[in-house]
Amino acid sequence: MDFTYDDEQRALREAVRGLVGSTYGDFENRRRTVAEDPGFDDTMWKRLAEMGVLGLPFDEEDGGTGAGPIETSIVAQELGRVLAPEPFLTSVVLAGGLVAMAGSDEQRAEVLGALSAGEMVLAFAHDEPGEAVLATHASDGWVLFGVKEPVLHGARADRLVVSAALPDGGTGLFLVDGSTATRSGYPTHDGGRAARVTFDATPATALGAGDQSAVIDLVLDGTRIMAGNEAIGAMEVALESTTAYLKSRKQFGVTLNTFQSLNFRAADMYVSLELTRSIVAWATMVLAEGTPEEVAEASARASLQVSRAGRHIGQEAIQLHGGIGMTAEYAVGSYTSRLTALDHMFGDGNHHLRSLAGKVGGYDEVDPLA
Amino acid sequence: MQLKLSEEDAAFRQELRTYFTTKIPQEIRDAVAARRELTKEQFVQSQQILNAGGYAVPHWPQEWGGRGWSDLQRHIWHEELQRACVPVPLAFNASMVGPVIAAFGSQEQKEKFLPKTANLDIWWSQGFSEPDAGSDLASLRTTAVRDGDDFIVNGQKTWTTLGQHGDWIFCLVRTDPDAKKQAGISFLLIDMTTPGLEVRPIELIDGGHEVNEVWFTDVRVPAENLVGELNHGWDYAKFLLGNERVGVAPVGATKRVLANAKEWAGDQLSDPLVASRIVELENELLALELTALRVAANSADGKPHPASSVLKLKGTELQQAVSELVVDLAGPASLASGAPDDATDLDFWTRRATPAYLNLRKASIYGGSNEIQRQIISRTILGL
Per-residue pLDDT at A292 exceeds 80: yes
Same-domain status, B231 and B264: no
- Which of A311, A353, A365 would you mutate first to test chain B, the one with the most B CBs within 10 A? A365
* Sign of the alpha-carbon torsion through A89, A92, A98, A101: negative
What letter does residue B54 receive in the DSSP assignment? T
- Domain A7-120 is classified in which CATH homologous superfamily? Acyl-CoA dehydrogenase/oxidase, N-terminal domain (1.10.540.10)
Per-residue pLDDT at B303 exceeds 70: no
- CA-based nearest residue in chain B for residue A236: B382
Mean pLDDT calculated for residue range B142-163? 97
pLDDT at B305: 66
Per-residue pLDDT at A132 exceeds 80: yes
Alpha-carbon Rg for chain A in angstroms: 21
| Angstrom distance (rounded) from CA A107 to CA B54 | 61
Cβ-Cβ contacts under 8 Å, A263 against chain B: 374-375, 378-379, 382, 384
The total of structural domains in chain B comes to: 3
| pLDDT interval class at B245 (50, 70, 90) | low
ipTM: 0.96
User: Which of B205, B236, B267 is a domain's end point?
Assistant: B236
Tell me if chain B has a CB within 8 Å of the CB of A358.
yes
Mean pLDDT calculated for residue range A228-250? 98
From the candidates B79, B210, B244, B289, give the one annotated as an active-site residue: B244
Same-domain status, B261 and B205: no
3-class DSSP state of B227 = strand
pLDDT tens-place string over residues B324-373: 999 999 999 999 999 999 999 999 999 999 999 999 999 999 988 999 99
- CATH node for A123-211: 2.40.110.10
| Angstrom distance (rounded) from CA B22 to CA B353 | 28
**Which residues are CB-neighbours of B72 under 8 A, at least 6 positions away?**
A1, B9, B293, B296, B297
Per-residue pLDDT at B299 exceeds 90: no
pLDDT at B249: 84
**Which residues are CB-neighbours of A246 under 8 A, at least 6 positions away?**
A255, A256, A257, A262, A263, A266, A320, B384
Q: With pLDDT > 90 as the criterion, what percentage of chain A qualifies?
A: 98
User: Which of B184, B210, B236 is a domain's end point?
Assistant: B236
pLDDT tens-place string over residues B188-222: 999 999 999 999 999 999 999 999 999 999 999 99
pLDDT at B352: 97
Tell me if chain A has a CB within 8 Å of the CB of B286.
yes
Per-residue pLDDT at B24 exceeds 60: yes
Average per-residue pLDDT in chain B? 94
pLDDT tens-place string over residues A297-331: 999 999 999 999 999 999 999 999 999 999 999 99
Q: With pLDDT > 70 as the criterion, what percentage of chain B qualifies?
A: 97
Please give the sequence-ordered ranges of beta strands (E in DSSP) within chain A, or none if there are none. Answer: 122-125, 134-138, 141-152, 159-165, 171-177, 182-187, 193-206, 250-251, 254-255
| pLDDT interval class at B244 (50, 70, 90) | low
Tell me if chain A has a CB within 8 Å of the CB of B179.
no
Same-domain status, B315 and B358: yes
Whether residue B35 contacts residue A38, with contact meaning beta carbons closer than 8 Å, is answered with no
- Determine, yes or no, domain membership for B52: yes
Domain, as residue range, for B349: 251-381
List chain A domain ranges. 7-120, 123-211, 214-362
| pLDDT interval class at B86 (50, 70, 90) | very high
Tell me if chain A has a CB within 8 Å of the CB of B382.
yes
Residue of B104, B109, B196 lying closest to B151 (CA atoms): B196
Cβ-Cβ contacts under 8 Å, B297 against chain A: 1-3
A31 class by beta-carbon count within 10 Å (0-12 exposed, 13-18 middle, 19+ buried)? middle
Average per-residue pLDDT in chain A? 97
**Using CA atoms in the order B145, B151, B155, B160, what is the torsion angle rounded to 10 degrees?**
140
Residue of A124, A17, A23 lying closest to A79 (CA atoms): A17
| Angstrom distance (rounded) from CA A12 to CA A7 | 9
pLDDT tens-place string over residues B159-187: 999 999 999 999 999 999 999 889 999 99
Mean pLDDT calculated for residue range A229-240? 98
Cβ-Cβ contacts under 8 Å, A285 against chain B: 1-3
Q: Would you call B244 a catalytic residue per the annotation? A: yes
Q: Identify the architecture of domain A214-362 in CATH.
A: Up-down Bundle (1.20)
Across A166-180, b (16+ Cβ under 10 Å) vs e yields: beeeebbbbbbebee
Comparing CB atoms, the residue among A275, A358, A364 nearest residue B291 is A275
- Determine, yes or no, domain membership for B96: no
Q: With pLDDT > 70 as the criterion, what percentage of chain A qualifies?
A: 100
Whether residue A339 contacts residue A231, with contact meaning beta carbons closer than 8 Å, is answered with yes
| Angstrom distance (rounded) from CA B80 to CA A201 | 61
pLDDT tens-place string over residues A339-358: 999 999 999 999 999 999 99
| pLDDT interval class at B248 (50, 70, 90) | confident
pLDDT at B181: 85
**Which residues are CB-neighbours of B187 under 8 A, at least 6 positions away?**
B100, B104, B170, B171, B172, B226, B227, B228, B232, B233, B236, B237
Q: With pLDDT > 90 as the criterion, what percentage of chain B qualifies?
A: 90
- Which of A260, A261, A270, A301 would you mutate first to test chain B, the one with the most B CBs within 10 A? A270
- CA-based nearest residue in chain B for residue A351: B276
Same-domain status, B261 and B192: no
| Angstrom distance (rounded) from CA B256 to CA B258 | 5
